[in-house]
Amino acid sequence: MARFPKWQDTERRLLGHAWGKTPLEEIAQQLGRSENAIRQEAYKLFGTTLDRAPMRRRRKQPRVRFYSLGLAD
């Protein structure tokens, strides 16, 4: 057995349902993994290490590119 077992789809699914709703300690107990492992996988899946979903999922305003301003000439 590997020192760090790979994450199974069922574990990822449970993490997705519990993240932000269940305390980190309880998630770690349910999955049998350390809290750091839970945080690391959550960062990979959701892009956040917080115990909640990100406040803003996308930009409010579109990105402005130099060429879109018409100043490239």
For residues 13 and 66, what is the distance between their CA atoms, to the nearest angstrom?
41
pLDDT, position 49: 63
3-state secondary structure 3-70: CCCCCCHHHHHHHHHHCCCCCHHHHHHHHCCCHHHHHHHHHHHHCCCCCCCCCCCCCCCCCCCCHHHC
pLDDT band for 43, please (50, 70, 90 cuts): confident
What is the average pLDDT score of the chain? 77
pLDDT band for 63, please (50, 70, 90 cuts): low
pLDDT band for 20, please (50, 70, 90 cuts): confident
Nearest one of 4, 18, 73, 12 to 44, comparing CA atoms: 12
pTM value is 0.62
